[in-house]
Amino acid sequence: MVAQANSPGAGAIIVAAGRGTRMGTKESKQYLMLQDKPIVVHTLEVFDRHPLITEIVLVTGEQDVERVRAWIDEYGIITPIKVIPGGAERQHSVYQGLLQLSSVWVLVHDGVRPFVTEEQVTACYEAAVKHQAAVLAVPVKDTVKQVDEQGWVTATPDRRSLWAIQTPQAFRRSDLMRAHEEAAKEGFVGTDDSMLVERMGIPVRVVEGAYGNIKITTPDDLDYAEFVQSQKEAKGRGNA
Tell me if 137 is assigned to some domain.
yes
pLDDT at residue 63 greater than cutoff 80:
yes
Alpha-carbon gap, residue 152 to 33, rounded angstroms: 41
Residue 208 resides in a domain: yes
Distance CA 13, CA 231 (A): 28
**Domain assignment present for 80:** yes
Q: What confidence score (pLDDT) does residue 116 get?
A: 97
With bands split at pLDDT 50, 70 and 90, how would you rate the model's confidence at 1? very low
For residue 156, is it within any domain? no
Establish if 234 belongs to a structural domain. yes
Mean pLDDT of the chain: 91
Its domain, for residue 86, covers 10-148+163-239
pLDDT in tens, 213-233: 999 988 888 888 888 888 877
- Smallest Cα–Cα separation from 83: which of 137, 91, 73? 73
What CATH number does residue 203 fall under? 3.90.550.10
CA distance 105 to 148: 39
Kindly state the DSSP code that residue 53 receives in the 8-state scheme.
E
Contacts of residue 163, defined as CB under 8 A and 6 or more positions apart, other chains included, come to 137, 138, 139, 140, 206
How does DSSP classify residue 6?
A: T
Which of 231, 219, 224 lies closest to 32, judged by CA? Answer: 219
Tell me whether residue 155 is in a domain: no
Q: Is residue 216 part of a domain?
A: yes
d(CA 101, CA 79): 13
Taking the model in full, what pTM does it have? 0.91
State the total domains in the chain. Answer: 1
Domain membership of residue 104 (yes or no) is: yes
